[in-house]
Chains A and B, each alone.
Chain A
Amino acid sequence: MQKKLVSVLALSVAMSAFLAACGSNENNNTASPSPSESASPSPSPSESAPASESTAPEKVENFTVSLRHIQIGDAQKFRKAILDDVVTKTEADVPGLKIELDGVEDSVNRFTKLPAEMAAGNPPKIFDVFGGSGDTQKYAGAGRMLDLTPILDELGLKDKFLSGVLEPFSVDGKVYGLPIGGNTEGIFYNTELFAKYNLNPPTTWDDLIKAADTLKQNGITPFAVGSKGAWVPNMLVNTFIGRIAGEGTNAGFITGASQWNSPDVVAAYQLFADWEKAGYFTKGELGKEYGDMLNDFVAGKAGMMFDGSWRSSAFKNDAVGAEIAGKVAFVNLPAVPNGKGDQSSVNANYGEGYGFSSDLNDNELKAVKAFIKNMYSEEMQLRGLLEDGVLPSMKLTDVSQVTDPIVKQVLDVLNGATASFPHFDSVVQSKVYTETETQLQKLIAGKATAQEVGTAIQKVQDAENAAAAK
């Protein structure tokens, strides 16, 4: 009897042990026996790599490093090519290294995937990240991101970056991320359509309004926009705020120096609401994605679109917008009548770049260093500018090779600017930014007035500022 009981017991113990074994297969085959690995058994992709017995004579340890990027889709193919080259180079530099690329759509990565991984403590080793208090500074404060200051010193990179571009990626003077490039947001317009209707380029406010009205009368949408993701129309709102309320406004929201419900900011929202009412934007925009905006513009359904300068590479001969290649021009938003800000100021963002997990072993750290060395070089920065129209975040000695007409126009816009202001999404806290998206969609749907929008956002801003002051 006892015997049978014991055997049943043994069997069930064996079964549960077997089942339990199915669940944990990590730590057996990690590449290097670093202490940080055993301390945190987080199932990151790099750790489940096959520990193939090294075949190299000097016993090179094979290991993998995960890399999250957002260069997916046809419109990003130039940037992806640069990334691929950097990856190949880095793999050649570090023996045994294999970089596993993981491509995720921008907003999914920024707002869903990365935050969840940060919360769980298992972000990829190298990842695409945005600067500002909602992203890098939040993660760095929680100890999730690698302090790059010593690496920058070691590689002698610190002074190579443009002044101020590392700010959004820094906490207490320590750098946690590196901007890959910059952009400005302005108006792309279809020169063919403008010529067809005898319109002047939208370089003055009157010309802009006249162009919009004329296009509208001819059944062409003045501005293509896809507002399903509210960050798209937020670009225009951001520039309106910079122009109407002044270029220091965006930076002042978190200090309390400027208020969302102040008359100037509300006036910016009101201008947007007026354009909405005048029918300047795509019909049914709340159901349209960001990609639809480009499609409408390329198909000639819309005469203009307000978008980031990164879109310029879409109008090359071999890109998604090839249909209207050579028929697109880029201008800064013209001076707004009665605007308080510097009317030749531009919005300039150096908000996006790469960050690195703080949970690295020695090998992975080597890989990260090699990646930084290869990615943040003058060569790659220049390639980004020439091939992809991304403005360099580092000082370049020679930009005379730029031939792309739109990129030239973008550079002209930046050179002609007397001041610049950041996008508020790289300034304000994430809860506030979320509220701007929610409220803007309400404004578009006609469910809220400009004043209500300003008041609602300021309420969240006040709460966040109070929480930050604690």
Chain B
Amino acid sequence: MRTTLRNPYVYLLFVVPTIALYFLFFIYPMLTSVFYGFTNWNGLDTKDFIGFDNFVNAFKDEDFRNSIWNNLYILLFSCCVQVPLIIVFSLLISSVKRFQGFYKTTVFMPSILSTSVIGILWGYIYDPDVGLINNILKTFGLDPIYFLADTKWALLSILITNAWQWMGFYIVLILAAILGIPKDIDEAAMIDGATGVQRAWYLTVPLIKPIINVVIMLSIAGALRVVDIVLVMTEGGPAGATDVMASYMVNKAIKYGDYGYGTALSIIIFIFALVLTALYQTLVVRRQEKVEY
């Protein structure tokens, strides 16, 4: 047996099934979709090769451009609003002495729920007739707000729901990093007379920077691939106000059977995500030195 395992081909043999599956379910579909992206295939008839037409049309397509902007809004919202909030909440939870486990579990809870459940749940919260928020507004004599039916409110409503779902997950990540910082650093600063805010800002935050970077990376990736919550709550409506790249692609390809165009859109989304993450990696993450305690 010992000599058998020295034979390198044996190892190759072990990975063959995996590679075959990987090829069948990842490499092959990817290659074919690149091909479909250059055709006008509608899922039924012949596929005609039409060169870069799909890609040119995509950038001429006002609705698709609008959905790119929506993705960028989501990205900005997660990096500029969500991440600071996550850090603040983590710092708060890390310094409570009692029931810390309870807070941790509570904030984490939404991220173990399915997106469909959350979408429907918040759909009721936002409901103009029976919803929680509008009932509160009604008691103050205000007009109901059509959160998911009004083009001005719909995207923000979805962003809040999405933030509610995922913040807990990131909070737990950051909390773990904060609790991993040796206590003596904090105690030394306290003896030197630093206030709580000073200690948080000048000690804790710099020490957890690597994990904050991970959170930002995940947020960027998450913002670019967000689609499930949109499909559950508004299907991209009203009038495309909440369409993101992926939901627009799903509607075009699956709902309206424009597979060629849909595949081209998916390739654009892929390149978009790749470029943005690569940019963040090279510009921000690489420049930082490693934190050592």
> Contacts of A4 on B, CB cut-off 8 Å?
1, 3-4
Q: Which of B3, B13, B237, B255 contacts A111 (CB 8 A)?
A: B255
For chain B residues 177-229, which have a beta carbon within 8 Å of chain A? none
Closest Cβ of chain B: how far from A260's Cβ, in Å? 17
**CB–CB A112/B255 < 8 A:** yes
Q: Does A15 contact B (CB under 8 A)?
A: yes
CB within 8 Å for A5 and B14 given contacts A119-B44, A139-B44, A286-B237 = no
Q: Which of B17, B45, B128, B259 contacts A141 (CB 8 A)?
A: B45
> Contacts of B151 on A, CB cut-off 8 Å?
286, 445, 447
Closest Cβ of chain A: how far from B130's Cβ, in Å? 12
> Contacts of A228 on B, CB cut-off 8 Å?
235, 237-238
A285 to B150, CA, bound (A): 9
Instruction: Write the A217-240 contact mask toward B (1 if CB under 8 angstroms, else 0).
Output: 000000000001000000000000
> Contacts of B106 on A, CB cut-off 8 Å?
none
> Contacts of A144 on B, CB cut-off 8 Å?
44
Closest Cβ of chain A: how far from B146's Cβ, in Å? 3
**CB–CB B13/A445 < 8 A:** no
> Contacts of B146 on A, CB cut-off 8 Å?
283-284, 286-287
> Contacts of A444 on B, CB cut-off 8 Å?
238-239
**CB–CB A286/B238 < 8 A:** yes
For chain B residues 137-161, which have a beta carbon within 8 Å of chain A? 144, 146, 148-151
> Contacts of A288 on B, CB cut-off 8 Å?
149
Q: Does A413 contact B (CB under 8 A)?
A: no
> Contacts of A116 on B, CB cut-off 8 Å?
43, 254
Q: Does A8 contact B (CB under 8 A)?
A: yes
A8 to B14, CA, bound (A): 10
Q: Which of A118, A284, A438 contacts B150 (CB 8 A)?
A: A284
Nearest A residue to B123 by beta-carbon distance? A287
> Contacts of B43 on A, CB cut-off 8 Å?
115-116, 118-119
Chain A interface, DSSP helix/strand/loop, else mixed: helix
**CB–CB A142/B238 < 8 A:** no
Nearest A residue to B250 by beta-carbon distance? A112
CB within 8 Å for A15 and B17 given contacts A144-B44, A228-B237 = yes
**CB–CB B3/A1 < 8 A:** yes
A228 to B63, CA, bound (A): 17
Closest Cβ of chain B: how far from A71's Cβ, in Å? 22
Question: How many residues on chain A are close to B (CB under 8 Å)?
Answer: 36
Q: Does A430 contact B (CB under 8 A)?
A: yes
**CB–CB A19/B17 < 8 A:** yes
Nearest B residue to A9 by beta-carbon distance? B13
Q: Does A12 contact B (CB under 8 A)?
A: yes
Closest Cβ of chain B: how far from A417's Cβ, in Å? 33
Q: Does B10 contact A (CB under 8 A)?
A: yes
Instruction: Write the B237-254 contact mask toward A (1 if CB under 8 angstroms, else 0).
Output: 111110000000000001
Q: Does A160 contact B (CB under 8 A)?
A: no
How many chain B residues sit at the interface, stated as a range, is 20 to 34
Nearest A residue to B7 by beta-carbon distance? A5
Q: Does B256 contact A (CB under 8 A)?
A: yes
Closest Cβ of chain B: how far from A227's Cβ, in Å? 8
A280 to B193, CA, bound (A): 67
Q: Could you say which of B128, B241, B256 has the most chain A C-beta atoms within 10 Å of its C-beta?
A: B256
Q: Does A377 contact B (CB under 8 A)?
A: no
A142 to B45, CA, bound (A): 6
Chain B interface, DSSP helix/strand/loop, else mixed: loop
A89 to B161, CA, bound (A): 51
For chain B residues 235-279, which have a beta carbon within 8 Å of chain A? 235, 237-241, 254-259
CB within 8 Å for A284 and B149 given contacts A1-B3, A112-B254, A115-B257 = yes
Nearest B residue to A3 by beta-carbon distance? B4
**CB–CB A8/B239 < 8 A:** no
**CB–CB A5/B45 < 8 A:** no
> Contacts of A138 on B, CB cut-off 8 Å?
44
A286 to B128, CA, bound (A): 12
**CB–CB A286/B14 < 8 A:** no
Q: Which of B16, B144, B240 contacts A438 (CB 8 A)?
A: B240
Q: Does A434 contact B (CB under 8 A)?
A: yes
Q: Which of A142, A441, A445 contacts B44 (CB 8 A)?
A: A142
Q: Which of A12, A430, A442 contacts B13 (CB 8 A)?
A: A12
Q: Does A210 contact B (CB under 8 A)?
A: no
A312 to B133, CA, bound (A): 36
Q: Does A431 contact B (CB under 8 A)?
A: yes
Q: Does A40 contact B (CB under 8 A)?
A: no
For chain A residues 396-452, which have a beta carbon within 8 Å of chain B? 430-431, 434, 438, 441-442, 444-445, 447
Q: Which of A1, A19, A438, A442 contacts B4 (CB 8 A)?
A: A1
Q: Does A200 contact B (CB under 8 A)?
A: no
> Contacts of B150 on A, CB cut-off 8 Å?
284, 286
**CB–CB B128/A284 < 8 A:** yes
> Contacts of A54 on B, CB cut-off 8 Å?
none
> Contacts of A139 on B, CB cut-off 8 Å?
44
Q: Does A16 contact B (CB under 8 A)?
A: yes
A1 to B7, CA, bound (A): 10
Nearest B residue to A116 by beta-carbon distance? B254
> Contacts of B257 on A, CB cut-off 8 Å?
115, 119, 430
**CB–CB B4/A287 < 8 A:** no
A118 to B237, CA, bound (A): 27
**CB–CB A16/B17 < 8 A:** yes
CB within 8 Å for A287 and B14 given contacts A111-B256, A445-B238 = no
Instruction: Write the A287-312 contact mask toward B (1 if CB under 8 angstroms, else 0).
Output: 11000000000000000000000000
> Contacts of A287 on B, CB cut-off 8 Å?
128, 146, 148-149, 234, 237-238
Q: Which of A12, A118, A431 contacts B258 (CB 8 A)?
A: A431
A183 to B255, CA, bound (A): 25
Q: A4-B1, A144-B44, A284-B146 are in contact. List 18 more A-B contacts (CB 8 A).
A: A1-B3, A4-B3, A12-B14, A12-B17, A16-B17, A111-B256, A115-B254, A116-B254, A119-B257, A141-B45, A284-B128, A286-B146, A287-B128, A287-B146, A287-B234, A431-B256, A438-B63, A441-B239
Q: Give 8 CB contacts A-B under 8 Å.
A: A8-B4, A111-B256, A286-B150, A286-B151, A287-B234, A287-B237, A287-B238, A444-B239
Binding site for A on B (CB under 8 A): 1, 3-4, 7, 10, 13-14, 16-17, 43-45, 63, 128, 144, 146, 148-151, 234-235, 237-241, 254-259
Chain A to chain B: the 3 pairs with minimum beta-carbon distance, closest first? A287-B149, A119-B43, A286-B238
